[in-house]
């Protein structure tokens, strides 16, 4: 397959071609070798959870050995995927909570409580007293409550109280208000073992509950606590794509998800002592860049450049310019080991729960974080002399990131009257038709970044504000879409006017995948601010992930659906089509229960049409599409009113 068919990222195309010339393998090559992929797996009809199997449903064999039918098998597989995604995000959240608590107690001296305003706000929410108390005392209490959310024996998730009241009532009525994360994940595995839950609707109902434990629990806490520890992001500029690598500096890539590691490496690389060491080996400096979600975290908070998203991870090493790649958890391809072995790059694992055979491991210990980070930086510096030929694609783009809920609130309303009111007003008056979250991974089954960016272009052209997270954000950034100057040229006139007034791009980079919770919080605020209905499901919003890879993306999709949103995925990445009943419930029936639903569309232009249609239907239902009402907001009318 041609490089162009593999990726729409021009830097990636160059590297794909070079890797092919050098006879090196990457994810696209391995995908080709996997073809044709298993049809049973694609349909979700293969069950291998007990030793009477594996069973697969065919025309001839309509039941597994235990008698399980296709609905049970597909629903169970779906539940397990969602639960695994929840486990990943929430275990990340738990690690953050542990470091947070250790920092508050003074046991992790290299981490500090940075955002006390946000700490106080969260403390109030959690019922922790703040008056006349020291910051660390408050943080210890907050940390303990947060940590308990993952495994408390009783009660439901605190963060779920952030949802509008009617949504909470609906969850209660339906019996899916999420309890402790561990409990929901454990129950998912229990229910889906052989001979337990055999009612597909009941299984899918639990898929809602476990997903909500992530969105309104583990992942939301990850975002909150990371903001308090490392600072709540505010808009700032950075650069994105492989052109950020430097041919005369030591290049370090931080790859993975937890800012616990990447924050420390970023700090250590700016240490004078380290810079002096770099000079000694003839390098002009130390350049840290990120890949995947940890990159989003660093760009959001420090303007540190992003070298690429999920499918760029192997290509980055093939530049020959990377002295060290430090990885922690999630979305780290094992294929990195073989490409790293072709270059001088030292690949280092840092999380004790995620090692790679034959790869050096430096355990990231929060009690000694800065020292460990310095050790890693020194390893990189020491490796600079071993560089061979280097080829760095020249391409990079300027990007704006840092749109947290707080910063959006501030930009819209100003410091003294921070408020979503202007956003609500502009949605009501139709200048902004609606809001769409474009999120998730990059999958080699489709040309890299193409669906995210095509969909995003279509949406902003149609005056729909886009909020983006994860690898989709990096995709958009690589094509200039998070940069106001470039993106506003592609934006419909009324959205453009609003963006120019407020000073924001039409595509807001909101962070990593756990930061999808910022979207939930923002939607709740839209409801609270008034004029757009009483519940999240009334809002003219949707989510889309057309290049999904990870089970985490399934979890995110499911918690958005259970929160009342339309979520569109590509057909190829939804392994549910083996069961008509499961498909019908997730695409239709669930909407009657929870107001949200799944949909599939692989073509990004058609997906945009589907989303716009949905948004217009929501606007109609809200009664904000009436011509007369809209006219009230015309400038002429306003002037006429003012004269009277």
Which of 329, 324, 268, 265 shows the shortest CA–CA distance to 90?
329
Tokens representing 189 are 């595995």
Which of 167, 611, 636, 634 shows the shortest CA–CA distance to 433?
611
Least Å from the CB of residue 84 to ligand SF4? 17
Question: Would you give the binding string for ligand NFS spanning residues 509-538, x where CB under 6 A is met?
Answer: ---xx-------------------------
Which of 527, 518, 543 shows the shortest CA–CA distance to 406?
518
Of the candidate spans 29-37, 53-61, 224-232, 481-489, the one that interacts with ligand SF4 by CB under 6 A turns out to be 53-61
Q: State the pairing for strand pair 286-291/306-308.
A: parallel
305-325 in b/e burial notation, b at 16+ Cβ within 10 A?
bbbbbbbbbbbbbbbbbbbbb
Q: Is residue 189 close enough to count as binding ligand SF4 by CB under 6 A?
A: no
3-state secondary structure of 429: coil
Least Å from the CB of residue 184 to ligand SF4? 22
Nearer to ligand SF4, 8 or 72 (CB): 72
CA distances, 119 to each of 84, 93, 124, 132, 378 (Å): 30, 16, 9, 14, 34
Interface residue with ligand NFS among 12, 549, 594, 611 (CB under 6 A) is 549
Q: Is residue 605 close enough to count as binding ligand SF4 by CB under 6 A?
A: no
Task: Give the C-alpha separation, 455 to 490, whole Å.
Answer: 12
Rounded to 5 degrees, what are φ and ψ at 609? -60, -45
Nearer to ligand SF4, 22 or 61 (CB): 61
Interface residue with ligand NFS among 163, 260, 441, 508 (CB under 6 A) is 441
Of the candidate spans 59-67, 273-281, 352-360, 616-624, the one that interacts with ligand SF4 by CB under 6 A turns out to be 59-67
Q: Is residue 293 close enough to count as binding ligand NFS by CB under 6 A?
A: yes
Tokens representing 556 are 């995110």
3-state secondary structure of 633: coil
Nearer to ligand SF4, 50 or 356 (CB): 50
Residues facing residue 325 across a β-bridge: 253, 347
Specify burial of residue 37 (Cβ count, 10 A radius: 0-12, 13-18, 19+): exposed
Helix (H) or strand (E) holding 597: strand 597-600
Of the candidate spans 349-357, 382-390, 548-556, 636-644, the one that interacts with ligand NFS by CB under 6 A turns out to be 548-556
Give the chain's largest Cα–Cα span: 82
Least Å from the CB of residue 64 to ligand SF4? 2
Least Å from the CB of residue 488 to ligand SF4? 53
Question: Would you give the binding string for ligand SF4 spanning residues 65-104, x where CB under 6 A is met?
Answer: xx-x----x-------------------------------
Q: Is residue 64 close enough to count as binding ligand SF4 by CB under 6 A?
A: yes
Residues 6+ apart with CB under 8 A from 379: 323, 324, 346, 348, 362
Interface residue with ligand NFS among 3, 471, 526, 586 (CB under 6 A) is 471
In the list ligand NFS, ligand SF4, none, the entry touching 310 (Cβ below 5 to 8 angstroms by class) is: ligand NFS
Q: Is residue 55 close enough to count as binding ligand SF4 by CB under 6 A?
A: yes
Residue with tokens 């454990």: 186
CB 350 within 8 A of CB 330: no
Q: Is residue 285 close enough to count as binding ligand SF4 by CB under 6 A?
A: no
Specify burial of residue 490 (Cβ count, 10 A radius: 0-12, 13-18, 19+): middle
Question: Would you give the binding string for ligand NFS spanning residues 246-265, x where CB under 6 A is met?
Answer: -----------x--------
Tokens representing 642 are 């003012």
Question: Would you give the binding string for ligand SF4 spanning residues 293-332, x where CB under 6 A is met?
Answer: ----------------------------------------
Least Å from the CB of residue 199 to ligand SF4? 15
Interface residue with ligand NFS among 235, 290, 401, 440 (CB under 6 A) is 440
CA distances, 71 to each of 31, 57, 61 (Å): 29, 10, 14
List of residues contacting ligand NFS (CB under 6 A) = 257, 292-293, 309-310, 331, 440-441, 470-471, 512-513, 549-550, 552-553
Tell me which residues touch ligand SF4 (CB under 6 A).
47-50, 52-55, 64-66, 68, 73, 194
């Amino acid at each position: 397959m041609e490089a162009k068919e593999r990726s729409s990222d021009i830097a990636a195309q160059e590297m794909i071609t070079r890797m092919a010339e050098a006879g090196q393998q990457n994810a696209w090559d391995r995908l080709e070798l996997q073809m044709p992929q298993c049809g049973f797996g694609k349909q979700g009809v293969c069950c291998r959870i007990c030793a009477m199997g594996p069973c697969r449903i065919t025309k001839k064999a309509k039941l597994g050995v235990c008698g399980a039918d296709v609905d049970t098998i597909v629903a169970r597989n779906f539940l397990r995927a969602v639960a695994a995604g929840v486990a990943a995000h929430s275990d990340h959240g738990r690690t953050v909570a542990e470091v947070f608590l250790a920092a508050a107690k003074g046991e992790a001296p290299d981490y500090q409580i940075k955002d006390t305003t946000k700490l106080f706000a969260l403390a109030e929410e959690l019922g922790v007293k703040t008056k006349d108390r020291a910051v660390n005392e408050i943080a210890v209490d907050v940390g303990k409550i947060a940590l308990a959310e993952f495994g408390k024996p009783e009660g439901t998730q605190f963060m779920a109280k952030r949802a509008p009241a009617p949504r909470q009532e609906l969850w209660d009525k339906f019996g899916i208000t999420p309890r402790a994360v561990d409990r929901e994940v454990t129950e998912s595995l229990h229910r889906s073992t052989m001979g337990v839950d055999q009612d597909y609707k009941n299984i899918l109902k639990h898929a809602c509950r476990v997903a909500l434990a992530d969105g309104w629990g583990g992942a939301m806490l990850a975002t909150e606590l990371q903001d308090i520890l490392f600072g709540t992001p505010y808009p700032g500029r950075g650069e994105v794509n492989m052109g950020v690598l430097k041919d005369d500096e030591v290049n370090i890539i931080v790859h993975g998800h937890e800012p616990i590691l990447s924050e420390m490496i970023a700090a250590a690389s700016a240490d004078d002592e380290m810079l002096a060491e770099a000079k000694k080996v003839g390098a002009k400096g130390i350049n840290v860049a990120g890949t995947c979600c940890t990159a989003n975290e660093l760009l959001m908070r420090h303007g540190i450049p992003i070298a690429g998203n999920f499918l760029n991870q192997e290509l980055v090493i093939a530049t020959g310019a990377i002295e060290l790649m430090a990885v922690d958890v999630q979305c780290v391809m094992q294929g990195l080991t073989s490409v790293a072995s072709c270059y001088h790059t030292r690949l280092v694992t840092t999380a004790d729960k995620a090692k790679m055979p034959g790869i050096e491991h430096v355990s990231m210990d929060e009690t000694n974080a800065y020292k460990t980070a310095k050790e890693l930086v020194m390893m990189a510096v020491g490796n600079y002399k071993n560089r061979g030929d280097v080829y760095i694609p020249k391409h990079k783009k300027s990007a704006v990131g840092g749109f947290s809920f707080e910063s959006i609130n501030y930009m819209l309303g100003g410091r003294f009257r921070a408020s979503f009111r202007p956003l609500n007003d502009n949605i009501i008056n139709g200048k902004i038709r609606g809001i769409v979250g474009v999120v998730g991974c990059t999958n080699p089954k489709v040309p890299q970044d193409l669906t995210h960016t095509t969909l995003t272009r279509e949406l902003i052209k149609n005056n729909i504000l886009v909020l983006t997270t994860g690898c989709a954000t990096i995709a958009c950034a690589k094509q200039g879409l998070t940069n106001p100057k470039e993106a506003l040229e592609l934006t419909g006139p009324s959205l453009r006017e609003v963006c120019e007034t407020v000073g924001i791009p039409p595509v807001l980079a909101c962070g990593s995948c756990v930061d999808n919770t910022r979207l939930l919080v923002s939607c709740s605020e839209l409801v609270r601010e008034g004029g757009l209905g009483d519940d999240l499901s009334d809002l003219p919003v949707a989510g889309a992930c057309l290049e999904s890879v990870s089970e985490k993306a399934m979890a995110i999709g499911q918690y958005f659906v259970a929160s009342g949103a339309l979520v569109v995925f590509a057909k190829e990445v939804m392994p549910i089509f083996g069961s008509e009943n499961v498909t019908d419930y997730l695409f239709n029936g669930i909407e009657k229960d929870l107001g949200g639903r799944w949909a599939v569309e692989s073509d990004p232009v058609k997906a945009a049409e589907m989303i716009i249609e949905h948004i217009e239907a929501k606007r109609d239902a809200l009664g904000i599409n009436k011509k007369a009402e809209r006219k009230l907001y015309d400038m002429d009318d306003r002037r006429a009113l003012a004269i009277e």
